[in-house]
Structure 1
C-alpha cells in the first residue's frame, strides 16, 4: 500500500509544481498585456489563471498534503528525522507561495496589481528553488 500512495503523492507533486511554474508565467503575460493595454488578452489571461488555480493547482496541493500526511501516518519515524523537518518547512513555504499567487491573481483580475512583468519573471523562479531543495532532501536525506 505504501508504494501506491507514494506513487500517487509524486504524481500530485508533479501536477502541483507544473501549476506553480505556469501560473506566475501567466502573470508575466498578463502584466505585459496590461502594459500594452490589450484588454482582450487580459480577459483571456484572467480566465486561464482562474481555471488553472481552481481546477488544477489547488486540488493538486490538497492531494499532495493528504497523500503526504498518509505516508507520514504509515511511516511515523520520518517525523523524527531532520531532513523531513526541513522538507516540511519548505512545503509550508510553498503553501504560502500558493496563496500569494491567489492574491496576485485577484489583484491582476481587479486591475489593482502594479507589479511588472519583470517582477513576475523573478517571482516565477521561487518554486524552482523549493523543488530542488525538496528533491535533494527526500533523496539524499542529508541529516
Structure 2
C-alpha cells in the first residue's frame, strides 16, 4: 500500500523495521543488565560499571530507537488510514496498544536502572528474571498481529 507516503513507503517501512530491531535488542539487553547490576554489591566498582553500561545503552540505542520506531510507525499507520477511520484495522489498534505497553516497560526498566544506581533494590533477582520475558512476549504478539492481521 503506497498511500500518502508515495514512493517513500518502502523506505519508511524498512527504517521502521530496522529501528524496531535496534530497540528490541536494547530491550533484551537492559533487563539482563539489571539482573547483573542488582547482583553486584551496592556502591562497588562493578555496580558503577553496570550504571555506566545501562546509561550508554539507554542514550545510544534504547531511547533514540524507540522514538524513531514511534515516529516511523505512526507515519505507516497514517498511511494505512488509521487516522481517517479506515475499517478493518483492529489488528493495528491492538498492535499500538501492545507498543504502548512495551514503551511503558521501557520506561519502567530505565526507572529501575536509576533506582539501582541510587542503591535501592525493590525487586528480587527472580522477579527481575521473570520480567525479562515481557519484551519477548510482547514483540511476539506484535509480529503475529502485523503478519497475520487476524482482525
TM-score, length-scaled by structure 2: 0.88
In the TM superposition, what are the counterparts of 1:97-108 in structure 2 within 5 Å?
Answer: 97-108=105-116
Query: 2: distance between equivalents of 1:86 and 1:71?
Result: 15
Query: 2: distance between equivalents of 1:118 and 1:40?
Result: 23
Structure 2 partner of 1:138 = 146
Query: 2: distance between equivalents of 1:71 and 1:4?
Result: 11
Let me know the Cα RMSD of the aligned residues.
1.5
CA contact 2:43–2:119 (8 Å) conserved in 1: no
Structure 1 partner of 2:74 = 69
Tell me the alpha carbon deviations over residues 103-139 of structure 1, each in whole angstroms, 9 at most, x when there is no partner.
1011000001232222211111000110100000000
In the TM superposition, what are the counterparts of 1:1-143 in structure 2 within 5 Å?
Answer: 1-34=8-41, 39-76=44-81, 80=87, 81-143=89-151
Unaligned ranges ≥5, structure 2: 1-7
Tell me the alpha carbon deviations over residues 55-87 of structure 1, each in whole angstroms, 9 at most, x when there is no partner.
210000000000011112222159641101110
Query: 2: distance between equivalents of 1:87 and 1:73?
Result: 14
Unaligned ranges ≥5, structure 1: none
The Cα shift of 1:16 comes to: 0.4
Deviates more, 1:99-108 or 1:75-84: 75-84
Query: 1: distance between equivalents of 2:56 and 2:123?
Result: 22
Pick the structure with more helix per residue. 1
Query: 1: distance between equivalents of 2:110 and 2:50?
Result: 14
